[in-house]
Structure formats: C-alpha cells, structure tokens
Chain A
C-alpha cells in the first residue's frame, strides 16, 4: 500500500482523510501546514501528497511549489483539496505543480476513488 502525506490545518478534515486512507491500508503521515509537510517530506519518500490550499504559516500552493523544486518530488502526485468556488485556486495549484485536485466536500468513497485513480 502507499505512503501518503496528508496536509490540512483542520484537525477534523485531516483526521477524516487519514482515518479513511488508513482504513484502506495506506500508511499516512499527517502535517498541520505546508511548512510541517515540507519538514515531513525531508528524507521520507511519499507516493502521494494530499494538501489543503488555505493554511496558516505556509499555504498549500507555496508548499507544492517548494516541493517540486526537490528532485525526489518531481513526478510524485500531489492533489490539492480545494473548494468548488475556487476555480482559480485549482489553476494556481496546477501552475505551482500540483497533479490535480479533489473538490470539497468529498466523502470517504470519493477520496478513496480519487486516490486509487492517482496511484493506479
């Protein structure tokens, strides 16, 4: 199963994502913001990164931009968790190097389907 980094400042959202993915057998590391996610990504190889856009300290888009400068994270799928109303955020995320997005609200089935879609 995959090693997944889940980044969200909201404990409920992060908890829900991690719980669902762990339930599907994945190994999940949680991070509260972009900066902590970058720290977690140091020396660890994740197969997939799921990140919220709006976060304090470092937002998801800056995090993606930074992550993509690291050679080991060049082709690693990174999905932004965004809300419907922010089409521009999807594009901004893409421009920063995100693979795709998962639109909130999503339920556990949608999350798992999307993860499966990325990981193949």
Chain B
C-alpha cells in the first residue's frame, strides 16, 4: 500500500465531510421528528451511504459496518417497509452520536469501537430483527478448478452500446493464460441488415490455464446479462480444489498506521469565492505597486497628485486584502448553532418542558478559534435557560403564557464586534433568590439600593448557583463565572438583561478576530499602551477633589453612582516621566470580568487597529498585558489585558 501516503489527505477530507454528513443526518432526523416530509429520509440515507462507502475505502472498516446497520434500517424506512417513529429516530440519533465518537477516536488514533458503539450496533440489528453480525470475514468460496477450459461466449446485440467491447474481454482472458479463439459467425446477418453498432459475432475460446471457474467468471461479471456464456472444464482436465487464500489483514494494519499519523491539523475549508476575491485583490495590489514603481525612476512634482492617488489606492487594497485574509478564518456560526436543536430537544423532554428553539443569524461569520471555543459557554447558557429560565407548562399557564416556551439564539454584527444572544421568554431572574444567596455567600451585605444590573452581575460571581435543587443538568460544578471567564479569554464580554416574568437575555460580545484588535493608544510617560476599544466605557477628566483615598491606600472616584478604583498605569508598569496629578491626565473607565475600573494615563494619542503579537512566545507572560503591537513609527506598544488588570487590582486589594 505504498500509494496510501499521498492519499492520507483524502482521509482527512473524508473525516471532515463525514462530520458534516452527520450534522445533516442529525438536523434531518430532528426535522423528521417534527413531522418533516419523506424527502428527509432520502437525505439521511444518502449521508449514511456516503459515510459507509468512504469509511471502508479510507480504512475504517468498523465504521463501515456500523453505518451499514443504520443504513439498512434507513433503507427499510425509505422503501416504505417500515414507518418512521420515535424509537427509530431516537436510535438513529444515538447512532449519529456513536459515529461522531468513532470519528473523534479515529482522529486520535484510538480503537474505533467502544462499549456504546457495540450496544447501539446491537440495538440497530435487533430493530432489524436479527443478531448483530460478527465482523465480516469473507472467505471466497473456491470455485471448481480445471487444467483447461472451454468458454462459449456470444454477446447480445446491444452489448457494444453499454461500452463493453468483446475484444477487451478476450484480451483480458488472454491475461489468464494461453488462448485458442474461434469466431462464430453463424448469427451474422446479411450486409444490408447489418447494424454496425450492434454485435453479431460469437466466440468459442479454449483457455489453457489451471485457473478457477471464478477467475473466468470475473472477467465476464459486467456482461453476465448481456451475453450467452458457457464455461466448461475441458474434459479430462479436472483437478482437486486448492485451499482458499487467507484473508489479508495487512492492508487493515497499514491503514491504521497512517490513521495514527493523521492527527487533526486544524485545517479550514475555504470557499472558492473567498480565494478568488483575494487573488483579485492581489492582482490590483500588483498593478498599484507597478504604478508607484514608476516614481522610483523619476519623480516630478507635477505628478504629486498621481502619487497621492496611488498611495490612497495602496492603502485601500491593503485594508481590503487584510479583511479578506482575515475572512479565511471566518466561518458561519451555524456550525455551533446546529448543535442546539438536539440539545434543546433532549433537555426539554427530560425536564418536561415545552421549548421552541428559534435560530437567527446563522450565517454570521466568526473567527475559527472563537467558533471552536464559544460552543461550551453557549451550551451552558442554553442549559441554564431551559433549566432555570423557562418554566414548566403548568407554571406558564398560571402566569398567562402559552405552554410552549421560546428560546432564541441570535448572532449579528454590531460595530466591529459579533454579538451572540441567548434569550428566553421564561420567568426572568429571581431577584429575591439571587440577593438572598449572595448574602448567604457573603458576596454582599444587603440587596438594598442594588440596581437590577448589579443583581444580574451577581450570578457571574464565582461559586454562585441559585438552583433550589441542583439538577444534573446545570449543576455540573460549572457556574456562570466560568462562562464569563471563557468569553473573556476570547477577548469578549457577557452581560445579562432580565425582566421578571418576561425572560432573560444573555449577550455575548466578541471581537471579529483575535489577530487584530481595535484600540485606543494611550500615553504614559514615554510609553504607549493600547486599550482594547471593546472594554472602554468612557474617558473622564477628574478634579483632585473627586478622588477619595480609602484605608489601605486605594483611590476611588464616583462614576454613574458607583465608586470605582483608580489604577495608575505608571505605577503598575513603572513608567518614568508620567503625569502624577489626577487633573493633568485622563481616567479611562474600562470594564473587564464584569467589574469596572479607571485607568489613569497621561492622555490619549489616537485610535488604531493593532496587530496582536504574542508576548508569551517572544518574551514571557506578563500580568495585565495580553500582547504587544508595533506602532506606525516602529516602536513597540503593549496591549493591556483589562480582565487581567482588574484581577491584578483585586489581588492587591486583598493583599
């Protein structure tokens, strides 16, 4: 199997397209469960069929045999031999899960079958009314054997039209051994009646080779129905059959070997449109560059306008190219959203709630890394909404609402950010319960004077859980604080709005990409710091009397009815020559990890996009700094990590 090496790439493609196929199967099964039409069965069957065909080809026989069971069941449904019902949908959904697991293990180079897949496979077989077949080992039945054969071969008139050339078959026979061929022209019509596109001849062939009948039949396997064929041993040439060859497991072992070398390399599938767009832009860039190049030879002030025009174009092309290169990493959020119909269905059934899931903005594109990491926090929010947010049909009826609760997932662009919302029309936050719990946990002293916003913030505090009884759904030891941490690791924020009796909206705001951030450049002494735009609330200039000093040396100022600490960046990072008097500089109010602080800087220099360079790979991790960037003048500016600064401040306060 030496050629398998170059083929490994298609194994990877196969895994990717199969995972897509499984997504299709799942969503179609769910639609079918909702009373969808019969065309869905064909879609599901086709997906299963492709996976089966490819699995065997690409060296995953276990997957092929598993899918075969599911496919057989689907085939009966498709053929009308079996009506689709809940248990079948349920079992097929579990089969989809099993296959996903098998693909994951295939990527990790682990054995594909596990206890669950064996069980489900058994259930599929049982549903078909038979025992699960053992791994198929096909010993080919030995055909009878002879020293020499007489083959009478007479094609039907239409055989040529099907693309089978009798001469090819005879040549193939010649590959088995020495031939003596005699043409039989008895069926040849008169010339006037002869149709040259039809076959009228026949042959009588003697094959002098000790081969099996099977080998000869194999030559004619495509034309069995299109010819009269007789294969007989030449008299007095019969020998005893030889033992059948042992099935080779070497191919399988070889396939497994390459599979292990095939860990997920983190590839992205890019649409041709995007690539074409980029090639087009590069083309324009080259033209502009060529135009600008003429200025190198001779520069005449009269051509200044042309130079300016060229530079403007260069800037535009560079920006567009940047956007489209970034676009390569952008994938629609649909792949994350598509997990939820299943989750919502399973969860609502388990909890006896009726939930209608609405998806909006599935085509909104997100950076691949963000996409991969946003799934878990969203799963948590959705679980939470169904578990705690939405009420049981009885409670909803009592509250004058319809039995069916609505859970909405939405994704859209806002400014340079992507906003993902998880909203429900449930009971909303239970203010009393939250305040009570927060007091019990020592997070606050009393709920008096707390705004609804502030109460909502409480649920993001570490270790907070309001469920009266911890269910096995949300109560997995993962709280909203982890959701916030996950989102903030992606450079985003999560907030909640809630109205009693009307529901809650969780809003996740994410940067478009992790590679470039929009930020304000702030001056501190000779240093420049980038403050991510997404975390900036407002900038204020404070009078000395607005600053309150508290015990322990902390400085506070009042901002929208709330006291916020002041973090002096020059102290934090040890910058020389910075302004010290509060009235000379500027306080940037920023929000991170749900807390607000004021950053004291000398002033703002401007707004810019910063290409993030990792400090960790080039230097080491620095608390309060998420990376570095290079400014237009070539100097280096550090990018502040707001959440990190807030944590840093919290620790200082505690110390």
User: Which residues of A are in contact with B by a Cβ distance under 8 Å?
Assistant: 9-13, 15-16, 19-20, 23, 52, 54-56, 68, 74-78, 81, 83, 85, 91, 94, 97-101, 104-109, 117-118, 120
A99-B222, A105-B64 known; A13 and B162 CB under 8 Å?
no
9 nearest interchain CB pairs? A100-B222, A105-B56, A99-B163, A12-B14, A77-B163, A105-B57, A12-B13, A16-B10, A104-B53
Tell me, in angstroms, the Cα distance from A76 to B221 when the chains sit together: 18
B200 → A minimal CB distance (Å): 15
Chain A residue nearest in CB terms to B9: A15
Interface segment, one of B44-52, B427-435, B505-513: B44-52
Within 8 A of A (CB), among B134-183: 160-165, 167-168, 171-172
Bound CA span A77–B64, Å: 29
Name 8 extra pairs, CB < 8 A, besides A75-B161, A105-B57, A106-B57. A10-B50, A11-B17, A12-B14, A13-B54, A77-B163, A91-B225, A99-B222, A100-B221
Using Cβ atoms and an 8 Å threshold, which residues of chain A touch B52? 83
Tell me whether B6 is interfacial, beta carbon within 8 Å.
yes
Whether a CB of chain A sits under 8 angstroms from the CB of B1 is yes
Hey, which chain A residues are within 8 Å of B168, CB to CB? 117-118, 120
Whether B197 contacts A74 by the Cβ 8 Å rule is yes
B7 touches A20 (CB 8 A): yes
Residues of B225-247 whose CB lies within 8 A of A:
225-226
Q: Is the CB of A107 within 8 A of B164?
A: no
Q: Given A12-B14, A105-B57 in contact, is the A99-B164 Cβ separation under 8 Å?
A: yes
Chain A nearest Cβ from B10, distance in angstroms: 4
Q: Tell which of A11, A19, A97 touches B7, judged by Cβ atoms closer than 8 Å.
A: A19
| B interface residues (Cβ-Cβ under 8 A, vs A) | 1, 3-4, 6-7, 9-11, 13-14, 17, 45-46, 49-50, 52-58, 64, 68, 71-72, 160-165, 167-168, 171-172, 197, 221-223, 225-226, 251
Per a CB cutoff under 8 Å, which of B3, B17, B46, B165 touches A20? B3
Contact A97 B162 (CB under 8 A): yes
Residues of B with C-beta under 8 A to A105: 53, 55-58, 64
Given contacts A74-B197, A91-B225, A94-B222, contact A85 B68 (CB under 8 A): yes
A76 touching B163 in the complex, CB below 8 Å, given contacts A12-B17, A19-B7: yes
Q: What are 26 A-B contacts defined by CB distance under 8 Å? A: A9-B50, A10-B14, A10-B53, A10-B54, A11-B13, A12-B13, A13-B53, A13-B54, A15-B9, A19-B6, A19-B10, A68-B161, A76-B163, A81-B53, A83-B52, A99-B163, A100-B221, A100-B222, A104-B53, A105-B58, A107-B57, A108-B3, A109-B3, A118-B168, A120-B167, A120-B168
Contacts of A75 in B (CB 8 A): 160-161, 163, 165, 197
Which residues of A have CB within 8 Å of B3? 20, 23, 108-109
Tell me the minimal C-beta distance from A32 to chain B in angstroms.
12
User: Nearest chain-B residue to A110 (Cβ)?
Assistant: B57
Assembly CA distance A52 to B52 (angstroms)? 13
A99–B169 Cα distance when bound, in Å, is 12
> How many A-B contacts are there with CB distance less than 8 Å?
107
Shortest A95–chain B CB gap in Å is 9
A118 contact set on B, CB distance < 8 A: 163, 168
Q: Are A107 and B251 in contact (CB under 8 A)?
A: yes
Say whether, besides A68-B161, A97-B162, A120-B168, A16 and B222 are in contact (CB < 8 Å). Answer: no
Contacting residue for A15 out of B13, B53, B56, CB 8 A: B13
Cα-based distance from A81 to B14 in the complex (angstroms): 16
**Contacting residues, chain B, for A76 (C-beta < 8 A):** 163
**Residue from A16, A52, A98, A101 whose CB has the most chain B CB atoms within 10 Å:** A16
Contact of B54 among A12, A101, A117 (CB under 8 A): A12
Whether A104 lies near B162 (C-beta < 8 A) is: no
Report the minimum CB–CB distance from A43 to chain B (whole Å).
Answer: 20
B634 to chain A, nearest CB (A): 45
Q: Is the beta-carbon distance between B7 and A100 smaller than 8 angstroms?
A: no
Choose among A54, A68, A107, A108 the residue that contacts B49 (Cβ–Cβ < 8 A).
A54
Nearest A residue (CB) for B14: A12
A11 CB to nearest chain B CB (Å): 5
A83 to B55, CA, bound (A): 11
Instruction: For residue B131, give the distance in angstroms from its CB to the closest CB of chain A.
Output: 18
A99 touches B162 (CB 8 A): yes
User: B10 near A104 (CB under 8 angstroms)?
Assistant: no
Closest to A77 in B: B163
Contacts of A98 in B (CB 8 A): 162-163
The smallest C-beta distance from B54 to any residue of chain A, in angstroms, reads 6
Out of A9, A100, A108, which one reaches B164, CB within 8 Å?
Answer: A100
Q: Contact: A104 with B57, CB < 8 Å?
A: yes
> A83 touching B53 by the CB < 8 A rule?
yes
Contacts of A56 in B (CB 8 A): 46
Evaluate contact between A104 and B56: CB separation under 8 angstroms.
Answer: yes
Task: Let me know if B50 and A54 touch, CB within 8 A.
Answer: yes
* Contact across chains for B161 and A74 when beta carbons are under 8 A apart: yes
